[in-house]
Structure 1
Amino acid sequence: MSLAMVSHKIGLSSPAPVLAAGSIIFCCAVAVLAILGLRHIGRYEKLGFTDSLTALPNRRSLHVDFQKHDRAGQEIALALIDLDGFKLVNDHYGHFVGDAAIRECATILKDLAGDEASVYRLGGDEYALLIGGPVAGTVLEGLCRRLIERLAKPVSVDDRRLTLGASIGLSRKVPGEKLSSSELLRRSDVAMYASKRGGKMRCTWFSAAFDQSREQLKEMDDELRAGLANREFRLNYQPLVDSRTRKVVAVECLLRWERADGKRVGPNIFIPVAEESGLINAIGLWVLRQACCDALEWDDITLSVNISAAQLRNPEFPIQLGHILEETGFDPERLELEITETCLVLDPVVAERSLAVIRGFGVKISLDDFGTGYASIGFLRQFRFEKLKLDRSLVVQAGEDEGSRAMMLSSITVARAMKMGVTAEGVETQDQADMVRAAGCDQIQGWLYFKALPAEEIAQHLGKPVGTATPTEQRDSKVA
């Protein structure tokens, strides 16, 4: 039907009014679509600056707000907040509860900050607080200390009471200083990791010394990697003596590093660097493989190897250990892994799972350095150690005062009740040996009998009782 016919049917003498009406409708439609489009653009723009889980401003928004404070010539203070116990919550309860915990912490932060600071979620379990003003740093530190106090108490999430905590890094920019928002974030991040290394549940201000330390750590990390590639590491073994027969029943593997320039570096120096860089996994696997190969020749004695917290947190470690036992042909029932409380308290859920797999191979687990931490009876029952190793400091103190001796005797009694063996470490005098033997220790380790020996010297000491030996060098440190 033509436009003229349409005009005739509706009583118009000309199609012009129809064209005018059509234009008006078209323009109105375009206007409506434009308005809707602008609304959508505004919504998308808002989403680009907002965290979807918590509805807090995100990292992009933080950079924008920083620029506003910077243009105003204000002091700017930034806190980077990392939740200490969040990974355990996710592992134990699942991501649904983990997300609820993230939202609850966001609410706590907003309530604490009020109008004094802007709160952001940067991703994962990381948040930030940003303040601009003449005393921004002072105000920010006060808020962070209040946050730590708040998170020291359980957080209620979906009818569960969750224990979280916070490690916080602080940094500031004074008026006139040329610092970008990215650099301020980096500094807060460095300070936050200093809080974690310092024991968590604390806030730490950034210091230029942190960057110097990081440079030194990077240099040593490069040297460690070269040392591992160039076979600069070696193993020594310190024998453990049966307290009744005085025969060697076990050896503890000790790691040594002699650099290409002849300088010896102690494990107490290079192990923390290797743990922080992640190289500890490669070094630890080399130690296990080499020690198993060495100990194949020493029939019927136990091989004890120290395992670091970083190794035990690696979910692949049990599988890697199984491969080493299979490759070397070493009897897993002759292997004992020594771990410290630190290995367990940092991530008990992962540790318990890994230890269950490791025990499935037939490998035994001992708790090292007992008497220096806070292991409770519940802690000992939870992880079911096959052996306790009394720390040298406890042995020495037990020989000096009655209170320490009572503590040592009670520790041995608890171990006996839980069917654990007991080894006394660091025994250096005959009086100490007589004391721990009378107290009921199964094994004695220390310089009274043996210093750490090269692998080729171990065989000659097997199968016969030992006497005493005089220490000739400084007491060895062990691989963490």
Structure 2
Amino acid sequence: MHDSYRHCLSPNAHGEAALRAMADELFGTAAPVADAPHFELVHAHQGQEAVDLVAAAGENRFAVAFVDICMPPGIDGRETARRIRAIDPDINLVVVTGFSDYAPIEIGRVAGPVDKLSYIAKPFEVEEVVQTATALARRWQVDRELAAVRAQLAEKVELLEEQTRELAVNEMKALHLANHDPLTDAPNRLAFIRSLSGWVRADECFAMVMLDLDRFKLVNDTLGHLAGDEMLRSICDILSAQVPEGGMVARLGGDEFALLFPTPGVEAAVMEAERMIHACAANFRIFGHTLQGSASAGLVVIEPGADADPTDVMRRADLALNDAKKNARGGVRLFDERMDESVRFRRLIESGLSRAIEQGELRLVYQPIVSHDTLEVVAFEALMRWDSGEYGTISPAMFIPIAEESNLIHELGDWVLGEALKTLEHWPGQYVSVNFSPRQFRRPNFVGHIVERVDRAGIAPSRLQIEITETAIFDDAERAAETLYRLRQMGFRIALDDFGTGYSSLYNIRKFALDCLKIDRSFIDSMGRERESAAIVHSIIHLGRALGLEVVAEGVETEAQVQSLRIAGCSHLQGFHLARPLEADRTFEIAEAGHVATSAVIADAPRGSGTHG
């Protein structure tokens, strides 16, 4: 038997002449002949000897084992195959038999799987053995290569899953930091505004209280900020325990707190507010000192169906608080319309804004966006300015919210887009970034309107970046996702503005077609003073890089911020330290030069923040 295997599997036994003759007979004289295979043979005369050889193979594992059912005294072929299979699950077994006491199914039960088990009947032909050995050896090699590839893929999948878990953890930490006050762990201003937005849309009467500690500065000045921090934590604990069921307490900053709670009416709301003020008027034992607490509060009650605006609710509560601080410290003042002298001015602003375009009072300025390493100018953000002939220069933070509440925002938005596209024609390659408010983004046929304006201007879509805030896409996420996808398909760039201050999540970022995240200036401004803000900035940068997005840091005003952001890996920078907003004609020179001076001077120009600011 062993001589037969030597004959079959030695190179001379199936030389080129023999294979050529066989190929001619089977396929015709033109059939090609592959090189004769070569095998390294190891012979075992007994079953246990074969088992020992397989066990001792180490890295030089066997590809194929031909096992005769009938062998010299010792274990038979079936038992030999079982033991070999137990040692090496990948080896291909070929059972060679003329007759056997075992049916193939019995052998397969102990020596399977069936795809690694073959049979050859005696007497066998040379070609049969050669073909079987060649096919199984090649398959064994392919299986090993596939196993190696699968192992590499499994490692990569595990690494990606680990990175995903790490990103999810970082996201949760970043979201918590972004929405909670680090001192008291109460919801912060951003979380409060988001919650207030939900309350004003609900059909339920509720109250908002703006609360401020009396003479708190004296605590910090006499006992130090650590004592002040301890007192703030104590006040927050009292308010959290006293707020009516279903309400919330938030720290807005400093010694200012805000509360929301359901109420059946004005009288009940006043009683609840006075009860909480009374609870704050307690004696606090802090660092061995006894302090008498005192707080003042402004109260506003919103009736069902009042169609209130969150910003206006906070403004009214703040007006009431200011009145309490002036006239009745330690008490509660209910908002009165007579307190709202700014309403008249607001109406005047709205009427003046409607005439601003035709009177030429509006203009655009452009702030460069630069790469973090070379300071190359890659884009300009368009920012609106209003120089009123009647009221002087009016901040965008004042007139944009007023325009947003009326249809004026569409007229202003169309003017901004048209002016920005005309200026863009004079830049060699930079793109322009234009802010779009939530109301503009929800405009019917928003995509068609943008495409029509860009086509008319003869500008490539890739040179217009559409900046939106998370608020613009949160109310109707499905529609927003479809709108952004269509814009991206047409070549427009999409930037998520003020990132970190809204409803951000990994799900949103993955769902919406984005090119860029813009870190809100509030985080950049405080990253040098607050460890939490620095952690948020680093998390956003790492998240953006992991998702292949550009990250623009807004409000860069110091060299230290530039260096910190460079180290963190932020891809682009924008702020007064690099360049203040420029008039349109000044941008031509900067765009041609392609860079900004590193020694830029911070000007006294109004800061650009908000929808078009």
Which range, TM-score by smaller chain?
0.5 to 0.7
Aligned with 1:433 (options 556, 562, 565): 562
Quick one: which amino acid aligns to residue 418 of structure 2? R
Question: C-alpha separation between the residues in 1 aligned to 2:585 and 2:453?
Answer: 22
The equivalent of 1:469 in structure 2 is: 600
Distance 1:280 1:345, change over 3 A: same
Q: Which runs of 4+ in 1 moved over 6 A?
A: 139-142
Question: C-alpha separation between the residues in 2 aligned to 1:402 and 1:138?
Answer: 43
The equivalent of 1:258 in structure 2 is: 387
Residues 328-375 of structure 1: CA deviation (Å, up to 9, x unaligned): 111110111111122122333443333233223211111111233341
- Higher relative contact order by CA 8 Å / sep ≥ 6: 1 or 2? 1
Distance 1:474 1:83, change over 3 A: closer
Is the 8 Å Cα contact of residues 255 and 479 (structure 1) preserved in structure 2? Answer: no
The equivalent of 1:410 in structure 2 is: 539
Question: C-alpha separation between the residues in 2 aligned to 1:312 and 1:84?
Answer: 23
Question: C-alpha separation between the residues in 2 aligned to 1:138 and 1:261?
Answer: 43
Aligned with 1:274 (options 403, 414, 421): 403
The equivalent of 1:226 in structure 2 is: 355
Aligned with 1:376 (options 494, 505, 516): 505
Secondary structure of the residue aligned to 1:223 is helix
Secondary structure of the residue aligned to 1:253 is strand
Residues 1:367 and 2:482 are matched in the alignment: no
Residues 1:296 and 2:425 are matched in the alignment: yes
Tell me the C-alpha RMSD between the 2 structures. Answer: 3.1
Distance 1:353 1:399, change over 3 A: same
Secondary structure of the residue aligned to 1:458 is helix
Secondary structure of the residue aligned to 1:380 is helix
How far did residue 476 of structure 1 move?
1.4
TM-score normalized by the length of structure 1: 0.58
Question: C-alpha separation between the residues in 2 aligned to 1:139 and 1:398?
Answer: 42
Distance 1:453 1:82, change over 3 A: closer
Question: C-alpha separation between the residues in 1 aligned to 2:550 and 2:458?
Answer: 26
Aligned with 2:515 (options 369, 377, 386): 386
Residues 1:192 and 2:304 are matched in the alignment: no
How far did residue 233 of structure 1 move?
0.5
Aligned with 2:580 (options 432, 451, 457): 451
Is the 8 Å Cα contact of residues 368 and 388 (structure 1) preserved in structure 2? Answer: yes
TM-score normalized by the length of structure 2: 0.46
Residues 274-318 of structure 1: CA deviation (Å, up to 9, x unaligned): 011121011001100110111111021111011111111112322
Alignment of 1:156-175 (within 5 A): 169-170=302-303
**The 10-residue stretch of structure 1 (317-326 or 304-313) with the greater mean CA deviation from structure 2:** 317-326
Distance 1:378 1:197, change over 3 A: farther
Residues 82-119 of structure 1: CA deviation (Å, up to 9, x unaligned): 8659xxxxxxxxxxxxxxxxxxxxxxxxxxxxxxxxxx
Alignment of 1:15-94 (within 5 A): none
Alignment of 1:395-406 (within 5 A): 395-406=524-535
Is the 8 Å Cα contact of residues 369 and 391 (structure 1) preserved in structure 2? Answer: yes
Is the 8 Å Cα contact of residues 371 and 572 (structure 2) preserved in structure 1? Answer: yes
Question: C-alpha separation between the residues in 2 aligned to 1:226 and 1:237?
Answer: 23
Q: Which has the larger radius of gyration?
A: 2
Residues 1:326 and 2:455 are matched in the alignment: yes
Aligned with 2:487 (options 358, 362, 367): 358
Question: C-alpha separation between the residues in 1 aligned to 2:363 and 2:595?
Answer: 27
Secondary structure of the residue aligned to 1:384 is coil
Question: C-alpha separation between the residues in 1 aligned to 2:265 and 2:603?
Answer: 58
Structure 2 alignment gaps of length 5 or more: 1-198, 204-263, 272-300, 315-333
Is the 8 Å Cα contact of residues 484 and 513 (structure 2) preserved in structure 1? Answer: no
Secondary structure of the residue aligned to 1:241 is strand
Distance 1:364 1:436, change over 3 A: same
Aligned with 2:467 (options 335, 338, 342): 338
Question: C-alpha separation between the residues in 2 aligned to 1:396 and 1:408?
Answer: 11
Residues 1:235 and 2:364 are matched in the alignment: yes
Question: C-alpha separation between the residues in 2 aligned to 1:82 and 1:380?
Answer: 27
Question: C-alpha separation between the residues in 2 aligned to 1:192 and 1:357?
Answer: 33
Is the 8 Å Cα contact of residues 425 and 446 (structure 1) preserved in structure 2? Answer: yes
Question: C-alpha separation between the residues in 2 aligned to 1:218 and 1:472?
Answer: 31
How far did residue 379 of structure 1 move?
2.0
Quick one: which amino acid aligns to residue 498 of structure 2? D
Is the 8 Å Cα contact of residues 200 and 309 (structure 2) preserved in structure 1? Answer: no
Is the 8 Å Cα contact of residues 388 and 420 (structure 1) preserved in structure 2? Answer: yes
Is the 8 Å Cα contact of residues 237 and 455 (structure 1) preserved in structure 2? Answer: yes
Quick one: which amino acid aligns to residue 324 of structure 1? R
How far did residue 230 of structure 1 move?
1.5
Residues 31-55 of structure 1: CA deviation (Å, up to 9, x unaligned): xxxxxxxxxxxxxxxxxxxxxxxxx
Quick one: which amino acid aligns to residue 254 of structure 1? L
